[in-house]
Amino acid sequence: MLQLTDLSFRRGPRLLLSGASLTIYPGSKVGLVGANGCGKSSLFALLLGELHADAGACSLPADWQLAHVAQHTPDTLAPAIEFVLDGDAELRRIQHALAAADAAGDGLRHGELAGRLESIDGYGAESRAARLLHGLGFAPGDERRPVNSYSGGWRMRLALARTLMCRSDLLLLDEPTNHLDLDAVIWLEGWLKAYRGTLILISHDRDFLDAVVGHTLHLERERLTLYAGNYSAFERQRAERLAQQQSAYERQQREVAHIHKFVERFRAKATKARQAQSRLKALERMELIAPAHVDSPFHFGFAPALHLPNPLLRLESAAAGYTDRPILAGVNLSLNPGDRIGLLGRNGAGKSTLIKVLAGDLAPSGGCRQTAQDLRIGYFAQHQLDQLRRDDSPLQHLQRLDPKATEQSVRDYLGGFGFAGERALGPVAPLSGGEKARLVLALLIYQRPNLLLLDEPTNHLDLEMRHALSEALQDYDGAMVLVSHDRHLLRVTADTLLLVDGGRVEPFDGDLDDYPAWLAARDPDAAGPGVVADVRDGTDRKQQRRAAAEVRKVLQPLRNQLKALEQQCEVLTARRTALATALADPELYAADAKPRLLSLLEEQRRVAVDLAAAEGQWLTVGEDLEQRQAELE
């Protein structure tokens, strides 16, 4: 178990934790939450031995294997899959020792190591690594590309896959969903649910926390408090405590009144669509959690748009893509004031491409894009964080937008985004990713757009800022198109869900809770372990059966080949195990037994070569089967 006993520590002159005592039992899944800068990442560093306590003690079982995501991925030419396999340190130690034993002709040592490799499923390690990469969004064949060929976001996925490859007893994950899209988040959620070790998870994604953790550890004012239950349970318990404070209670009533007002306005539409019902449920839950955010430092809203032409923007038979790769075709979309659209679709399907076309950053390659005369677009994308002027302050950025505004009014506005006092006057360069994202949102909202295009706006934002943004978006009177891996934000702000898939943009038949099942139906590995496809009634049963039979007929040869290869792998694996057992017999290493020893070693070598070839064929045929199945569907 993990134990903290009267633990205190500092970073520099600042006290982060004082007198903390708690016990986390093996197999527990704990969400670590608290305001940005409160010391969550420093607590991880202490658990990893990178920081030391000023008082008290932190104890872990000596034999526990710890895993965490490295902050920097090395610039290496090694293939991605080899980089991921390096996450299993014991596997690599055994492989290196096996090579040394072979070079020395030490058959006894070889047999011992081969048995150990078998016991840790070392022969299936490459297959496990490939499944991790696929679940995190890498396409077939990407695993052989060198690590340094990937961009920063994809390198973070590689680092995460390497961490998950480790057969750890304690897994420390700090914002693992940053740089992931919704599909990969759903897959990771399923993987963590099935993880058997102890997990401590820092995340600002409330749906992700709710699904994964069974306890919530809150770090606030140098104190650690362990709550039973997931994040929503923590919010309710904390809200009950805060509601007892009169100053907090007054603010709570304003929050609840705000939510009631919106729910009543929205209730009349709640029967029109399944996703509308889902949103109403989320809003009703917000009524319970609102008091937990009474002390939020973020307070802002959208001023009414200056003009609301109808429609704001239209795409007619629009096509889009890049020189060597068409992505979208035949897109018809009309955006009107009040539209709240969430985009769903697998990684690479074209969600961000559609946003770029709507924003005017990418010209349609076919069809047309028509805009209203008074269209004012507010476009948020991650690359805009890099376009901030590093040496300018938040105040200077805003004054550049509105030179006539008084300094006090600008500072009051920035204070609602967490840039109060001196924080509004310092340069942008040292700000964190979350602070830069808040500044970009502040600049966007100040311009009073009538069309919001938001591509992953919550990356790096903490829970309080996400809550404030979701509330502000509920009162926004323009049109909004949102891509986000934060399902809570999608639930409470999007009325309509559109699916980007196969080059088309169509309404999604279901609500957000149906999306994992849709992913599982398209790709069983994409939705993560434990997600079962839900095939809905929508066409004639007889026609469905006939279509399914045709698909089975076409795919049957590949399935037969896959089954034969599986049987071949099973036979070779059994023979490899028998050889390892035989080679472990001490009598085999007597002088008169040398011919038999050499024969068994040669057979072991041939079996290993044949098994590797069979597993390679199995992977290739499996990928062909998946590709053909996707084409037929």
> Over the stretch 268-301, which tens digit does the pLDDT of each residue have?
554 444 544 555 565 555 545 545 555 567 888 8
CA distance linking residue 468 with residue 470, whole number of Å:
6
Please state the rounded mean pLDDT for residues 231-256.
69
- Helix (H), strand (E) at residue 246: helix 246-267
CA distance linking residue 84 with residue 426, whole number of Å:
40
Residue 621 has pLDDT above 70, yes or no: yes
Residue 14 has pLDDT above 90, yes or no: no
Q: State the first-to-last Cα distance of the chain, in angstroms, to the nearest integer.
A: 48
Per-residue pLDDT, 331: 95
Residue 555 has pLDDT above 50, yes or no: yes
Q: Which of 59-68, 91-100, 292-301, 510-519 has the lowest mean pLDDT?
A: 292-301
Residues linked to residue 507 through DSSP beta bridges, in sequence order: 498
Please state the rounded mean pLDDT for residues 15-19.
88
Residue 31 has pLDDT above 90, yes or no: yes
pLDDT tier, 618 (very low <50, low <70, confident <90, very high otherwise): confident
CA distance linking residue 550 with residue 612, whole number of Å:
33
- The DSSP secondary-structure symbol of 311 reads S
- The DSSP secondary-structure symbol of 401 reads H
Among 488, 499, 380, residue whose Cα is nearest residue 444: 380
Per-residue pLDDT, 262: 53
* 230: its two tokens: 């997931």
Measured over the CA atoms of residue 180, residue 184, residue 186 and residue 190, the dihedral's sign is negative
Per-residue pLDDT, 270: 47
Per-residue pLDDT, 594: 82
pLDDT tier, 52 (very low <50, low <70, confident <90, very high otherwise): confident
Q: Mean pLDDT score of the chain, rounded to an integer?
A: 84
Please state the rounded mean pLDDT for residues 77-92.
92
Among 492, 479, 440, residue whose Cα is nearest residue 461: 440
Q: Which amino acid is at 402?
A: D
Residue 265 has pLDDT above 60, yes or no: no
Q: Which amino acid is at 436?
A: K
Question: Given the structure tokens 């609102």, which residue do they identify?
Answer: 290
Entry pTM: 0.70
Residue 178 has pLDDT above 70, yes or no: yes
Per-residue pLDDT, 400: 93
CATH class, domain 544-632, is: mainly alpha
Higher pLDDT, 471 or 296: 471
Please state the rounded mean pLDDT for residues 365-371.
94
* 387: its two tokens: 């376009």
- Residues whose CB falls within 8 Å of the CB of residue 578, separated by 6 or more in sequence, listed in order: none
Distances (CA, A) of 584 to 119, 122, 580: 14, 18, 6
Contact 499, 345 (CB under 8 A): yes
Per-residue pLDDT, 551: 60
Per-residue pLDDT, 146: 92
Contact 514, 538 (CB under 8 A): no
Distances (CA, A) of 188 to 217, 402, 574: 21, 43, 32
Please state the rounded mean pLDDT for residues 613-631.
71
DSSP 90-150: HHHHHHHHHHHHHHHT-HHHHHHHHHHHHHTTGGGHHHHHHHHHHHTTPPTTGGGSBGGGS
- Residues whose CB falls within 8 Å of the CB of residue 104, separated by 6 or more in sequence, listed in order: none
Question: Given the structure tokens 């994809």, which residue do they identify?
Answer: 154
pLDDT tier, 85 (very low <50, low <70, confident <90, very high otherwise): very high
pLDDT above 90 coverage of the chain, percent: 41
CA distance linking residue 184 with residue 161, whole number of Å:
11
Per-residue pLDDT, 296: 67
pLDDT tier, 538 (very low <50, low <70, confident <90, very high otherwise): very low
Q: Which residues of 393-415 are buried (b: 16+ CB within 10 A; e: fewer)?
A: bbbebbbeeeeeeeeeebbebbb
Residue 527 has pLDDT above 80, yes or no: no
Distances (CA, A) of 506 to 342, 414, 452, 496: 12, 39, 20, 11
* Cα Rg, the chain, nearest whole Å: 28
Q: Which amino acid is at 362?
A: L
Residues linked to residue 200 through DSSP beta bridges, in sequence order: 30, 172
Per-residue pLDDT, 359: 94
Q: What are phi and psi of 6, to 5 degrees?
A: 45, 50
For the chain, domain boundaries: 235-292, 389-448, 544-632
Q: Which amino acid is at 16?
A: L
Contact 279, 491 (CB under 8 A): yes
CA distance linking residue 445 with residue 441, whole number of Å:
6
